[in-house]
Amino acid sequence: DAGVIQSPRHEVTEMGQEVTLRCKPISGHDYLFWYRQTMMRGLELLIYFNNNVPIDDSGMPEDRFSAKMPNASFSTLKIQPSEPRDSAVYFCASSPGLAGKVVEQFFGPGTRLTVL
Amino acid sequence: SQKIEQNSEALNIQEGKTATLTCNYTNYSPAYLQWYRQDPGRGPVFLLLIRENEKEKRKERLKVTFDTTLKQSLFHITASQPADSATYLCALAGTGGFKTIFGAGTRLFVKA
């Protein structure tokens, strides 16, 4: 298996532009997570899905952020409009569902976003 | 609010020694505690998971303890090697689901 795939790996954009980050989870994993990592705040959970349904989006910072999972093999995190404070590394992770019990998460390589 | 504290300062040890990393938490009753390793420019990699009813877990040179009374987990790497140098993250999740809270991590440097 190729693991969790994220694209792009690096994104540089200007303030006010729309940014779309993409994730392909590991096949067969029922859970998908979006995280953001910064030096100041560490690794923060933004939202997670179970079987393509958003379960908890309490970590989404503002209405400018939205996430979708149209099918089991694809998810997007969109920021519109982007701001310099959104600059961070965004990770996607997936996890197999074992009777709903927490098990390990498999992280992708991340997307480094820079908003100028 | 829920808070996780890990050694903010880097830990420097000599090769062959045991590294011990600490994770303390407050205002939380996790059902699961996990440890991840993160190398620069990469995503975290899962190492170990321990449940609230377990006191200790081992995997090769790694050992994790979980004390729900002290609200603390200790992570040990025995016979440490330079390749163990990385940032180690502590993560908590409750019984309600997969909502996971990560600590800031501790940087470990193992000198040859």
Among A108, A75, A110, A82, smallest CA distance to A13 is for: A82
CB-based contact B99 A104, cutoff 8 Å: no
Chain-chain contact of B101 with A42 (C-beta, under 8 angstroms): no
Q: What is the pLDDT of residues B83-103, one digit of tens each?
A: 999 999 999 998 766 889 999
Is residue A50 within 8 Å of B96, Cβ to Cβ? no
A30-86 pLDDT, tens digit per residue, is: 999 999 999 999 999 999 999 999 999 999 988 999 999 999 999 999 999 999 999
Indicate if the pLDDT at residue A100 is higher than 80. Answer: no
CATH of B3-111, one of 2.60.320.10, 3.40.50.1360, 3.30.70.2740, 2.60.40.10: 2.60.40.10
Confidence band of A97 (pLDDT split at 50, 70, 90): confident
Per-residue pLDDT, averaged over B15-42, amounts to 94
- Per DSSP, the residues of B26-60 read ES---SEEEEEEE-TTS--EEEEEEETT-SEEEET
Over 90: is that where the pLDDT of B7 sits?
A: no
Q: Which residue has the tokens 């997570």?
A: A33
Chain-centroid distance, C-alpha A58: 14
Distance, in Å, from the CA atom of B8 to the CA atom of B105, rounded to the nearest integer, reads: 7
Whole-number Å distance between alpha carbons of B32 and B47: 13
Picking from B2, B35, B98 by the largest number of A CB atoms within 10 A of its own CB, the best residue to mutate is: B98
* Statement: residue A1 has pLDDT above 90: no
Q: B44 and A4 in contact by Cβ < 8 A?
A: no
Is the Cβ of B102 closer than 8 Å to some Cβ of chain A? yes
- Taking CB atoms and an 8 Å cutoff, what residues of chain A touch B34? 102, 104
